[in-house]
Structure 1
Amino acid sequence: MSTFAVTYFYSADPAQLAEVRPLHREWLSGHFSTGSLLASGPKVDTPGALLIWSAESVEELATVLDNDPFDIAGFIGERVIEEWNPIFGPWSS
């Protein structure tokens, strides 16, 4: 398994995000309980989020992320998936 850092840049306004957020968080919670989502949360000063995932490949993860309710609603203007090599911390090898 590889570790990936995913950055979301939202294209929706806060009110739109708030409407879908419960579904989005339920979806995230399911992936967190299986161990594929390691951490996630909104950015403080920009409209977006950082998510840390464990997956076999970037292609596999992209397919999973396509099912995020925020993505389905069209609220993610840009999504960046980067493989990450944590040297220190709970996800280091």
Structure 2
Amino acid sequence: MKFAAFVEYANEPERLAQLRPLHRAYLQDLLQQGRLVVAGPFADGSGALFVYEVANESEAAKLAANDPFAKAALFRAVVMKPWKLVFASPDNLNPPL
């Protein structure tokens, strides 16, 4: 089952930048395990969207809580909702190089 996490970042750009490599490595690991569907920050830098593929909301919450940003108290708020994929364009999901 998919769960979308809408995350608001703390207003600490220096700490976010410092921990970003660990955060991205964590997400890359989840992606390789098949537990992350998509992830990316909002264009204004205020937060991010993560879509997890897990058995239940509790497992999704654990993935969010184990993110290096969350462990460093850089997640100000997390809203988790079950999510259904109805349409997708693989061509539009390719990250920029």
Q: Do both share a fold (TM > 0.5)? A: yes
C-alpha displacement at 1:54, in angstroms? Answer: 0.5
Distance (whole Å) between structure 1 residues aligned to residue 60 and residue 4 of structure 2: 11
Q: Give the match for residue 39 of structure 1.
A: 38
C-alpha displacement at 1:17, in angstroms? Answer: 0.2
Deviation per CA, 1:16-54: give whole Å up to 9, x if none: 100111100010100000111011010002510011111
Unaligned runs of at least 5 residues, structure 2: 90-97
Q: What is the TM-score when the length of structure 1 is the normalising length?
A: 0.89
**Residues 1-93 of structure 1: matches in 2 within 5 Å?**
2-89=1-88
Please provide the CA RMSD for this pair.
1.2
Deviation per CA, 1:43-93: give whole Å up to 9, x if none: 002510011111100011111221110000000000011001121127xxx
Q: What is the TM-score when the length of structure 2 is the normalising length?
A: 0.86
- Show structure 1 runs of 4+ deviating over 2 A: none
- Counterpart of 1:57 in structure 2: which amino acid? N
Tell me if structure 2 keeps the 8 A contact 1:12–1:76.
Answer: no
Distance (whole Å) between structure 1 residues aligned to residue 63 and residue 9 of structure 2: 18
